[in-house]
Amino acid sequence: MSFKSIVRELKEMKDGIGSISRRGEVEGRHWRNRTRTHIAPDVVPFDPNQQGQWANIPPELLLDIVRRVEESETSFPARTAVVFCASVCKSWREVTKEIVKTPEECGRLTFPISLKQPGPRESPIHCFIKRDRANSVYRLYFGLTPSEDESDKLLLAAKRIRRATSTDFVISLVSDDFSRASSTYVGKLRSNFLGTKFTIYDNQLPSDAAIQHRGRLRRRFSTKQVSPTVSACNYSIATVSYELNVLRTRGPRRMHCAMHSIPFSSIQEGGSAPTPTSFPQYFDEKSSPALVSKAKEPSVNSSSTVSVPSREPLVLKNKAPRWHEQLQCWCLNFKGRVTVASVKNFQLVAAVDPSHNIPAAVQETTILQFGKIGKDIFTMDYCYPLSAFQAFAICLSSFDTKPACE
């Protein structure tokens, strides 16, 4: 049987492989609706009686098949073939997870956890954001620019919720379910009253180790009203601050991002950024009653603080633009990725003290850039040590109204 025939048969397998959600619940609409994430699920329920002939393939042949699929299909929609391989059965999924590398290593997004892992070091991952003004929804897609047939692959979505003293951007893996009790919830962004300071919350620790700062641990909702299979905490992982423009002088916004979950050592030689390998542990009432009991009666309340070892966090600052005399505007070199002037446009680089002895090339590396290319369409390019989730949350802060900063 040829290689293409194997992939074709995988696509036609019973029960529609690829319609399995990240949490392991079979929901075909997740794959038929283009606004849903098209990245492979993280947990899949396996029925030994339903695996069929594909589960009995010799390990050497299976390894060769999955490796060839992974190497040949480097971008969506063709990369969905890797998704199919990961969804066949338990043995196929284990081999696929072993072969597929992190975005930092291969520069590609495959599994949902890829959105929480650092981007590549050499070249950025290109994405774009579509703003839906009517519904206050922001969708992050993979790719350089929107396609004509609107078949773009959704990565994340956020909904803006205005409150009396703040604004929340609830971030989800899908664009039609922003409930914080949902399994698709991944985090949120919250602003202060003036819109000058934002806090990024993650629904999980960014790695197996604790966050390297004294972060606040918040309950997302009353655990009595939620299934015990859902994580009930938010972890503060970063803060985004915009400087007040008291004198109302002309110029771009000035911002700083303190990435508490990323140590400064990550950009030093030999350093590394936290890389989670799976989503939070979801409690199974049948398999672990003890864990369920702990989940229903957590010992942490909404005002408690997590005590963890302290490390110097990575701080990002916006790259200073130059004033163009002929155009009479502030300019930055976005390398063709931004085409419309906007106060929202920015580039972030590491804020480095001279005592750190960081090479000039590293100091000038653009870690995140965001800018406008059309009506309600913006590009977002990010690289190591930021993840897609962190980059998206930072960009969302630019959409909130900031009269005191402009």
Cα–Cα dist 391/383, whole Å:
9
Residue 134, pLDDT score: 95
The pLDDT value given to residue 5 = 64
For position 299, what pLDDT does the model report? 36
β-pairing verdict for 197-202 and 217-219:
unpaired
Distance set, CA 239 to CA 74, 83, 266, 352, 390 (Å)? 34, 34, 18, 17, 11
What is the pLDDT at residue 298?
A: 37
The whole-number pLDDT of residue 281 equals 58
What pLDDT is recorded for position 342?
87
User: For the whole model, what pTM was predicted?
Assistant: 0.79
- Ranges of residues in the chain with a pLDDT under 50 are 14-38, 40-46, 48-49, 208-217, 220-230, 282-309
For 340, phi then psi, to 5°, come to -120, 130
Three-class SS string for 246-287? CCCCCCCCCEEEEEEEEEHHHHCCCCCCCCCCCCCCCCCCCC
